[in-house]
Chains A and B, each alone.
Chain A
Amino acid sequence: MSLAAKIKEVLICLRAGRVTLPYPFEPATVPKAFRGRPIFDVERCVGCAGCANNCPAREILVEDVCQEVRILKYLGRRCTYCGRCADLCPENAITMSNEFETATDEISDVGQTLELFMGTCQRCGRCFTSPTPLEELKLKGYRIDDLMNERWVFRSKPFLNEEKTVDDIDIELD
């Protein structure tokens, strides 16, 4: 390479100046349209499981521990931050925050677990009897049989038993 080319290169470098951002020593800004991880608002959620049903990554799992309590578990580990859950939530209980600093050494740190009260019939005051309309849909994927092992079932049950459901899939490995 000739000397002139080297001088030219130095000039180009000098003109560009220093571009390195001071991150992580100073906080970084994100674009306005940036979608970070979803944040669930337990006060507003009615437990309709619409988010769980429509999550493309099947990221939100639902378990009915008893007739009045439903557990909604957002795993966080394979969320693509697509915002579909926030888009369809009827109560606007999910906000797409602009948090991106989610690096962790423990993957369960990015999860969120919501314990929800399920309403009873407004007329008779009793719980819906099984099979509920949701169970009749027999949707695969968002219902879990066992929160600890994240075992998935094809249809929900009124109560949990110890042995595995017949046709469930072992997707998680813990």
Chain B
Amino acid sequence: MLKELCRKMFPRSLWVYHANSGGCNGCDIEVLNALTPWYDAERFGIKLVGSPRHADVMLCQGPAMRATEIALRRAYDAMPSPKLVFAIGSCAGGGGIWHDTYSVLGPVEKVVPVDYYIPGCPPRPEAIVFGVALVLGLVEKKVVDIHVKQDEFPIPRYHPEDLEEVDGTVKYTKSEVV
């Protein structure tokens, strides 16, 4: 549904604004990688712009931090509607490794509403291109929530094959001597 809405609301080129709110630069490098001739995100109309006022999409890298929270929120407010937010990397999507330190508030969705997530630390440039293609409706989503159950004990509780009859009594041959 969100994809349909995206196609209707963003029929032409998406201009992206690149907001790093405290990441380690790994994701920034990969985003720039996705814009190089090798991956060429510009063939999908992706263009990097310098001001949030020109942008349709905000690419968030890094977690929401105490120090950058206000700046991130203001950059989001400055973008004209309709707008999309991508959370790139495990910092933006879930807070990253330092998600429980004092200066990190957590994932960027605590500050701005996030529409698409691209997990990875950092995500491959292909993964970023895949995320863009997902928004444009070129590819299908490949992940789904997995919920699995065991239906039997992974380790047999008793080992009948190790039981042996010795002098009329049953003995466990592999029993450890304590």
Contact = CB atoms under 8 A, between A and B. Distances in A.
A, B from the same assembly? yes
Interface of A: 19-21, 23-25, 28, 30, 34, 37, 40, 42-46, 56-59, 75-82, 91, 99-117, 119-120, 122, 125, 169, 171-173
Determine which residue in B91, B127, B143, B155 has the highest number of CB atoms from chain A within 10 A of its CB, and name it.
B143
6 contacts: A44-B154, A101-B127, A101-B139, A104-B117, A106-B117, A107-B114
B88 to A, nearest CB: 9
Contacts, number: 176
A139 B97 CA distance: 18
B129 interface: yes
A70 to B, nearest CB: 10
Interface of B: 2-3, 37-40, 43, 90-91, 93-97, 99-100, 106-107, 109-110, 114-121, 123-124, 126-131, 133-134, 138-139, 141-150, 152-155, 157-158
Contacts of B115: 105
A56 B37 CA distance: 35
A44 B39 CA distance: 39
- Label chain A's interface by main secondary structure: loop
A34 B122 CA distance: 12
Contacts of B158: 122
B99 A109 contact: no
B119 to A, nearest CB: 5
Contacts of A79: 90, 94, 119, 121
A173 B94 CA distance: 10
A119 B150 CA distance: 12
Contact of A91 (B94, B124, B154): B154
Given A30-B124, A173-B106, A173-B109, A107 B149 contact: no
B6 to A, nearest CB: 9
B61 to A, nearest CB: 14
Contact of B120 (A20, A56, A100, A109): A100
A102 B106 CA distance: 20
